[in-house]
Structure 1
Amino acid sequence: MTTQVVILAAGMGTRLGRSLPKSLTELNDGRTIMQQQFDNIHHAFGKKVKITVVVGYKLEHIIEAFPDADFVFNEQYDQTNTSKSLMRALAASSNGGVLWMNGDVVFDPEVLVRAAKVVATDSSFVTVNTDKVSDEEVKYTVGAEGYIKELSKTVTGGLGEAVGINYVSSSDKAALLRQLGRVDDQDYFERGIELAIEQDGMLVEPMNISDFYAVEVDFAEDLERANLFV
């Protein structure tokens, strides 16, 4: 079955202060953030992988830049958060699991090479970095069996940060989709994962990628840090 990859890029990205969608921000190597993501996806999964981009804010610029991608539209991009963008993407997906990422993450190509091995087993996971635990980032804890228990910005005693690259298995997708439909419009998709864990017994592995770089670009200083790696 062809691997399905989703990039969430509907938001306005106002904190970075750019006129174009944040995913089209240019890096030091001349590529945009999204082009680096496309290159990384193709490196790990080949050229035939199906890539769907969730668009909203100034969507025509992304569509023009990546004409070979598929697109899902979040027409309420200015009123909703990543939970509703992911909900739309999962609803439009084909049978099978879905790998997805936030459209503002600059990361080592080897992250997806490692992820591909877990995708091949069709096991749900969240990529994590255990080297740092910042208050403003999405943090996680695990239960006795080692699976994700809590996943949010308000977690206390977090073991690390969620990186923003995740996979939902074919068997878990319906439960996650249902929970994404229930959460508030302003919730991040992590709230849907939490509810699927709590209410549906979904098992989500923390996949540690601390040995690779992965930078979520929210502010100018994040972009400076990402540019140190590319």
Structure 2
Amino acid sequence: MRAVILAAGVGSRLGRPFPKALSILPTGETIMGRQIRLFREAGIREVVVVVGFKKTLIMEQHPNAYYRYNPVYYITNTSKSLLCAIEDLDDDVLWVNGDVVFDPGVIAGVIDADHNVIAVDRKKCGDEEVKYRTNGSGTIIAISKTIENGEGEAVGVNKVLAAHVPALVRSLELCEDQDYFERGLEYMIRDKVAFRPLDISEHRCIEVDFPEDWQEAQQMFAG
């Protein structure tokens, strides 16, 4: 299994002069440093980081990872960054947004699943969160920010089995430059590739988009 961290974006909503993934948690680790450590502790040896904005800062601070560069990070979104990372892979792929802070139990649950996974938090969501909806058998049938009456938030931690990586590559190639990778998952779902939600609500997990998210993350992961 390969782990991919998507960290190419500018992260302008947080208003930092450096990538969000380098934000330092109260424990002294950066968000990315924590992600890499938890992947390694879970047995994933190869961690690929997709960089763009101020890439040298990330690479110098975390030299113990493999890197892919998205040279058009400033006009593309996570769909194209993920494509950079997986277009030549033939292994199971677990990927996360570079601004997600999570407990080790989140990663353990995703790794242990024997199917394609979208980790979810079953909570009431606002307009900004990516939401999802399932059918009667528990398979995800929709995922996007625009879903009404969603069942919860897709938290930005996902896994695709090796057999479905080519389908993910094709779907990401269909995405527009500014699409999030969830649009690629939508295409796969429409093509009858099954994804199941993994409820991680009992674990700590937060995506840092805004200053208030960062304040909550600092409180949540204070020690």
Q: Shorter-chain TM-score category?
A: over 0.9
- Tell me how far 1:155 sits from its aligned partner: 0.6
**8 Å contact 1:99–1:165 — kept in the other structure?**
yes
Q: Secondary structure at the match of 2:184?
A: helix
Structure 1: state its 5+ residue gaps: none
Q: Secondary structure at the match of 1:203?
A: coil
- Tell me how far 1:35 sits from its aligned partner: 0.8
Give the TM-score normalised by structure 1.
0.93
Q: Show the counterpart of 1:146.
A: 138
Q: Distance in 1 between matches of 2:136 and 2:186?
A: 16
Paired amino acid for 1:97 = D
Deviates more, 1:129-138 or 1:213-222: 129-138
Q: Secondary structure at the match of 1:75?
A: coil
Q: Distance in 2 between matches of 1:182 and 1:72?
A: 20
Paired amino acid for 2:174 = R
Paired amino acid for 1:174 = P
Q: Distance in 1 between matches of 2:88 and 2:218?
A: 34
Q: Show the counterpart of 1:83.
A: 79
Number of equivalences: 221
Q: Show the counterpart of 1:97.
A: 92
2:51 corresponds, among 50, 55, 69, to 55
Deviations 1:77-112 (A, max 9, x none): 00000000011111143x211000000001112111
Q: Which runs of 4+ in 1 moved over 4 A?
A: none
Q: Secondary structure at the match of 2:125?
A: coil
1:32 corresponds, among 30, 33, 38, to 30
Q: Secondary structure at the match of 2:149?
A: coil
Q: Show the counterpart of 1:178.
A: 170
Structure 2: state its 5+ residue gaps: none
Q: Distance in 1 between matches of 2:3 and 2:14?
A: 25
Deviates more, 1:150-159 or 1:136-145: 136-145
1:206 corresponds, among 197, 200, 209, to 197
- Tell me how far 1:131 sits from its aligned partner: 2.3
Deviations 1:40-71 (A, max 9, x none): 2122225xx10000000000011111112111
Give the TM-score normalised by structure 2.
0.96
**1:187-202 aligned within 5 A:** 187-199=179-191, 201-202=192-193
Q: Show the counterpart of 2:67.
A: 71
Q: Show the counterpart of 1:112.
A: 107
Q: Distance in 1 between matches of 2:19 and 2:123?
A: 29
Q: Secondary structure at the match of 2:87?
A: helix
- Tell me how far 1:24 sits from its aligned partner: 0.3
Q: Distance in 2 between matches of 1:135 and 1:182?
A: 25
Q: Show the counterpart of 1:222.
A: 213
- Tell me how far 1:145 sits from its aligned partner: 2.2
Deviates more, 1:107-116 or 1:145-154: 107-116
RMSD: 1.1
Q: Distance in 2 between matches of 1:222 and 1:135?
A: 15
- Tell me how far 1:144 sits from its aligned partner: 2.8
- Tell me how far 1:215 sits from its aligned partner: 0.7
